[in-house]
Chain A
Amino acid sequence: MDLVGLIEETLRQEEFEGLSLMLRRMVEYLDAEGAILWEVAPASKVVEEKAEGGYLFTVAHWFYEEQMYAIHNLPVKRSATGRAVSLGKPVIVEDVRNDPWVNLDTTFLERFKVEAFFSFPLQFHDGSQGAINFYFDEPLDRFYEPILEDARGIADLVPGLYQVIQDKVSFNLIRDVNDLFYEAGVVGKDRRISEKELSTVIKKVCMQVSKAFEAAETTIILEDEYNERDGFEIRGTTWPRQIKQSDKDIYKGKKEEGISGWCLEFRKPVRIFDLGHFDRDRPQIEKEYPGLTWDDPLDIVGQGKRIFGVTSEEALPPLSYMCAPIMMGDKTAGAIRCSIATKAPYYFAERELELLKLVAGRIGQAWRSWINRRTVEWENERWQDVVRHVQQLNTLVRDQLLEGSIIEEQLCKEVFETASVVLPDASIMDVRLYDEVHDCLVFKYFRGWEYRVDGSKRPDDEIKMLKRRTSCASGKPDSIASYAYQIGEIQVVHDVSNREQAPHYNEIFPEVRQLVSTPIQAGHNSFGVLTVRTTKEGRLPKHVATIFALIGQQLGLYFQLNQLLKEQTITYDNLAHQLKSPANQAFKQIDGYLKRLKRGKKHLPDDLKMVRSLCAQFIGFTLNVNLFAALGQGKTITCNAEEHTKEDIIDLLEEWAEENRILIPEKQDKKLLVRKSSFGVVDRLWQDNRRTRIDRELFVHAINNLLDNAIKYCFNGTLITISGGLMQEGHMFYTAVRNYGIPIQEDEVEKCKRRGWRSEAAWNVVAEGRGIGLWLVDRIMKAHDGTLEIIPTRSNDLTEIRLCFPIQTLEVSS
């Protein structure tokens, strides 16, 4: 074969075995006996120090006598070939028997009938050093120069050709890995492949990598964060021995877990020249990879003996190892490792590690593609299910509304059903509702099982109602649900045992691993919290939080609808109805007055008074509506407070008392009285240069609401009084309305200030209004930096409500 043919044939080679063919063509061209391509091994410095310069390992060889021979390496400093490498120039050994540099490996020399050889030093493209030797079966004669020149020319081609083969092998490997993923549908196709199909692909990738590197083992480790087997799992391996299903196939990503663990934790590639001498090389290894440990959990040394057919460790070639992290963006997805190079040079050099990193990158991309596609599919499936279930829920709620009320138990049962669709592994769920009487969250509806005291489980259908358990609704949260309710935000916990993630977790159910707690709320109204738990480990998909937050809001809406149904909370339409009544009456009265004028009746002054009072009541309603509308739009009450004397206040109150007296039906015999003397405190304030500042219009409006309530709720034949006073050791001025009527209990005091709230007793005696009066008054007082004080009804049926205003001291100028 000529030189061109040699080059062409070499360029056609796709694998490392092609190096042998390249050497063969060279041997044929030179009419030699054989050739060896050498490389200085990237061994540890300790070895180099001991071995005086390191060792040359065979990368490839070819001899006419095709025989297997024992591992052959040469010390750099004590061999002819090493001398060529050290000097950087060819070494010619004319007669092996007479050259002092020849390493007297007689087995090799005799077996291959080597009498003479040329050794040419090489510099490879990755910076490593080596040599190519051509061996002859006769001593060189004096006229060997032509052959030497030919050999030199061929030797010069070797680094380039070697690099081409290496590049081809690298390219082919990456292409093959790409093709494997593409053909399997991991990337590029619409359908997502199953996990089983994915495992098959990964196994094939392992086999492909093993073949490319001629490695005994290639293993790919990957983490699926949504898998219950928490950690990095072995997804594929070519390890010849069956790895037992044990902790060994799950890595937590810690350096204590051996070389793979170190690689996972620090996200750095690792290359160990010879695991068989790990202890000897430990100092160097520790320098390069701090904290790395290894205790041969997979018996690599034993495996090496079997592969190479040796019985002693001394006869083993290097048991090389390399590992590269697999990344998804900046997140560690796993690792790929190779161990035991089974063919010459029997180790993994830096170039192999670089190629492994490229492969790792490709695997990372494919893994991310599969995970993302699966996540999207999961999400789509879950959202479709959720939409369907919410539609069913809406239908249920609508039907129940038509019946008159929502049945909470049935509603929650449906919600649990929806939750189990979103989270198929959910096993224990509950709805806790706020109990305003005790200010806590009470377990109301439940699905799942619970442990009896003796440790056995109670099956789901036995659970009707748990004993009364509670969670804190305010103050320090005593559970995740309590915390979620208080802050009004969904809580997703992937590991309840992790105290950092779940500081409020309290272990009612020992087998629970993950949970979601979402507040049940509609706007600013909170009703309780829904909690869903699973006993599976892993990580809940991201869409779970979004969907459960939606379910919590939907449930909140249903509870609010139910509440509105029960209370029939006011709408503007309802207010309009309320408004029409006094307006109509006022108009009718005026009509009546005009007609009576025509008819000559004699009650004109009373008629006029009545009209005026009705108009005042109408104005009061209008003010209520306007304030209600403004507050509903998020506006605040504007308070234009001014100083008022005692006379100002009394005149104002008497005028309004007069308006309201007329509106009290005579038959009810209810009296209004302004206790003028009680307002003497205002005089004393003025004397002390202290003032109470009040917005007149708002004050009138507040008083109007209080009197309106007093008239509605007081007993026939009783007295309603308006008086003034000081409280809080003279720091607040109050105007109080007292009446004898239906009681306000102590636990109802704060509720009275809530919009739309009425006690049961109050509901029974009114056919108008919507319970916004005290709510508005409370807001009016807050605008004054004052307070609305409701003093619960005493044993003599006396109720008192106070409008409390702050007092300011004027600065006296000197």
Chain B
Amino acid sequence: MKRLKVLIVEDDRRQYDMLVQELNAYFHGLGSYDLIETEHDFLHNMDQIVSDPPDLVLVDVMLPWTRPTKKMPEPPEEVKRERFFRAGVRCVKRLRERQETQNIPIILYTILGRSDLSQDIELYENVTHVQKTKDWTTLIEKMCEVVPVLHEYRR
């Protein structure tokens, strides 16, 4: 089977680790789970994403701009104005602005509820929402729904 690539945009490493563990428990031989932890890293890697688009993107909504370092990159005005609260949505917007990534299925995987994000979801095609709960099955089902081929990788 073809190796699929799942891009996970998540600032909490522990959550990423847990997520990968669970996905590996549900899917076999899926492929890779690439991680981007900050919005700056996402922008920085945009060219890479466009040139080699993933099959699915899981995006946390609340992301920091960057990690603390001595020379931190200056955020754009949009980030200064809106802060981290909709960082993931900005990442989605950038994906949809590029032809190569216009149709990639995106799941906003966040603790925010659907009502918090309905406007953002409705703006773009093929963007859905799964709220982070202790139950993984909702996420798994949604992943299979938006990327039907994943059914073939289920254990």
Contacts and interface: CB of A to CB of B under 8 A. Distances in A.
A713 interface: yes
Contact of B83 (A568, A610, A666, A761): A568
A797 B72 CA distance: 14
A767 B68 contact: no
Interface in B1-49: 11-15, 18, 21-22, 25
A246 to B, nearest CB: 64
A581 B14 CA distance: 11
A742 B72 CA distance: 9
B151 to A, nearest CB: 22
B72 A768 contact: no
Interface in A725-765: 741-742, 760-761, 763-765
A584 B111 contact: yes
A742 B84 CA distance: 17
Interface in A551-606: 566, 568, 577, 580-581, 584-585, 587-589, 591-592, 595, 599
Nearest to A566: B81
A713 B111 contact: no
Nearest to B112: A577
A405 interface: yes
Contacts of A5: none
A716 to B, nearest CB: 7
A452 interface: no
B22 A765 contact: no
Contacts of B14: 585, 610, 663, 665
A568 B85 contact: yes
Contacts of A584: 111, 132-134
A763 B134 CA distance: 29
Given A585-B15, A665-B13, A761 B72 contact: yes
B74 to A, nearest CB: 9
A773 to B, nearest CB: 16
Q: Is chain A's binding surface mostly helix, strand, loop or mixed? A: helix
Interface residues of A, number: 38
Given A580-B132, A584-B134, A665-B13, A764 B25 contact: no
Given A581-B111, A592-B22, A742-B68, A766 B134 contact: no
A586 to B, nearest CB: 9
A564 to B, nearest CB: 12
Interface range for B: 20 to 34
B67 interface: yes
Nearest to A595: B25
B68 A715 contact: yes
A716 B67 contact: yes
Given A577-B111, A763-B83, A764-B75, A592 B21 contact: yes
Interface in A392-432: 404-405
Nearest to A574: B85
Contacts of B81: 404-405, 566
A766 B84 CA distance: 8
Contact of A764 (B64, B112, B134): B64
Interface in A755-814: 760-761, 763-768, 797
B66 interface: yes
A667 interface: yes
Nearest to B72: A764
B51 interface: no
A767 B134 contact: no
A390 to B, nearest CB: 28
A716 B60 CA distance: 22
Contacts of A666: 13
B57 interface: no
B87 interface: yes
B99 interface: no
A716 B12 CA distance: 15
A23 interface: no
Contacts of B13: 665-668
A666 B13 CA distance: 9
A592 B14 CA distance: 13
Given A591-B134, A715-B69, A765-B64, A585 B84 contact: no
A434 to B, nearest CB: 22
A534 B99 CA distance: 62
A220 interface: no
Interface in B46-84: 60, 62-70, 72, 75, 79-81, 83-84
5 contacts: A591-B134, A668-B67, A741-B68, A764-B75, A797-B70
Given A568-B85, A761-B68, A764-B79, 16 more contacts: A404-B81, A580-B132, A581-B132, A584-B111, A585-B18, A592-B18, A665-B14, A666-B13, A668-B67, A715-B69, A715-B70, A761-B72, A765-B64, A767-B62, A767-B84, A797-B70
Which 3 pairs from chain A and chain B are nearest by CB? A665-B13, A587-B134, A764-B65
Interface of A: 404-405, 566, 568, 577, 580-581, 584-585, 587-589, 591-592, 595, 599, 610, 663, 665-668, 712-716, 741-742, 760-761, 763-768, 797
Interface of B: 11-15, 18, 21-22, 25, 60, 62-70, 72, 75, 79-81, 83-85, 87, 111-112, 132-134, 136
